[in-house]
Amino acid sequence: MVKVGIIGGSGLDDPKILKRASEVELETPYGSPSSRLRCGIIEGVDVVIIARHGKGHTIPPSKVNFRANILALKEQGCTHILASTAVGSLRDEIKPGHLVFPSQFIDHTKKRGTTFFDKDMVVHTPMAEPFCQNLIELLASSAEDKKIPYHKNKTVITIEGPRFSTKAESHMFRGWNADIINMSTVPEVNLAREKQIHYAAIAMSTDYDCWREGEEHVTWEMILETMKKNADNVINLFLDVIPKIKEYNDVCVK
């Protein structure tokens, strides 16, 4: 049975899109999730929403309890996760306002709990293809139909934050073939794979980081403004794609 988790990022911590909505408060062995779980239905599909940074964006990136968030969604029976996230663009063609559906990540974080397998057993989880290609194709098809500018199969680099990059770092990340940059995809995506949950990111480009000459350097206010303008695009993708997920016989991640 398909059940979809939505992880709301900056500007999307409480998309009001559920029917028969209720809230669940729970505790995991890793502590409390970032927010109460909001449970309901979208077009006959059970959905659970969690606010990554808490309601009202009160939790900085390094303090997000990623393991508790993913485990909470797993314990609620989620088989798939759609995660919204704000990203900076490291490529000319990925303009502010465009959506990106990455297929690869580079981990440049430093102090996060990145695995569930660090105590009683050692498990080496395959991570060659960390994102669900079926979900990427569904998202891309939906964006195409809705004429929303998008890019797929790109690489996201996740930095620790909460500061933004220096120019030197931004150029270095471009040299590493990263296409977008954020502070949240890792370890979220690899933890989801460890729990055998299909995961895809809906990344919204909000700025050009600080590498591009002649562009205003990224600020928090810039990110929020772009997210506010384009939140409807992300919500429309949720509403269009979620009913289609149950058509795929891909519940078990290999």
pLDDT for the residue numbered 41: 95
Cα 71 to Cα 254: distance, rounded to the nearest angstrom? 18
Domain made up of 3-245: CATH architecture: 3-Layer(aba) Sandwich (3.40)
Strands (DSSP E) found in the chain: 3-8, 19-24, 37-42, 45-51, 80-89, 99-101, 104-108, 150-152, 155-159, 180-182, 198-207
pLDDT for the residue numbered 22: 93
Residues with active-site annotation? 207, 209
Residues in the chain where the model's pLDDT stays below 70 = 10-15, 248-254
What are the extents of the domains in the chain? 3-245
Cα 198 to Cα 245: distance, rounded to the nearest angstrom? 11
pLDDT for the residue numbered 14: 62
pLDDT for the residue numbered 11: 59
Structure tokens at 249: 């016989």
- Written as one letter, the residue type at 158 is T
Q: Is 163 exposed, middle or buried (0-12, 13-18, 19+ CB in 10 A)?
A: exposed
Cα 100 to Cα 154: distance, rounded to the nearest angstrom? 7
